[in-house]
Structure 1
């Protein structure tokens, strides 16, 4: 009796159904974890940048004119990326409220959208 090597169509369809079922379970968890990690990284980068601005102010008695000043004065090696926009140029720079001390007093994300908690990124 001659046996053909290979899989039948039914066997292939069963395997494809199992794979698709596993993907429908795994993919939403994966994308959720990616979004969560970006949010955590954003909060950390904001904290680091704000700390750098505060240290610059404590050392110099004035706020930096731009984020590049923090790099030039070696507070940072480079400006951290906004992980949501994946760019270092989308940060929103908030000026000092004191007219006698101009410069960047705070920073916000320039990303559109909201966190998983419903807070807009620009309010973090």
Structure 2
């Protein structure tokens, strides 16, 4: 009979699976917490872009836009740039862009 059999025992395989499970338990909840950060950073970036386009509109026309739709109709921003990825819509008040529900 063969006495030099190489391979993993059941105990060794269970220990490896346990270690992988512990690592997954530690990592997966942290990934879920980062989703909110990504949405808020994305909305802040969109507000900055629309604010820059609001300033460009003001420089070009001499007037502040009264709404985000006015920027869309003048081709300064696109229709999908009127709302953030988290669902908040953008609005303009006295030349300042804000996100609101």
Instruction: Give me the TM-score of the superposition, normalised by structure 2.
Output: 0.67
**Greater share of helix:** 2
Q: Which runs of 5+ in 2 are unaligned?
A: 1-9
How many pairs does the alignment contain?
Answer: 91
Instruction: Give me the TM-score of the superposition, normalised by structure 1.
Output: 0.56
Alignment of 1:1-124 (within 5 A): 17-18=18-19, 20-80=21-81, 81-83=83-85, 85=86, 87=87, 90-91=88-89, 93-96=91-94, 105-110=95-100
Larger Rg over CA atoms: 2
Two-structure CA RMSD over aligned residues (Å):
2.7
Q: Which runs of 5+ in 1 are unaligned?
A: 1-7, 97-104, 112-124
Higher relative contact order (CA 8 A, sep 6+): 2
Runs of 4+ in 1 over 6 A off after TM superposition: 13-16
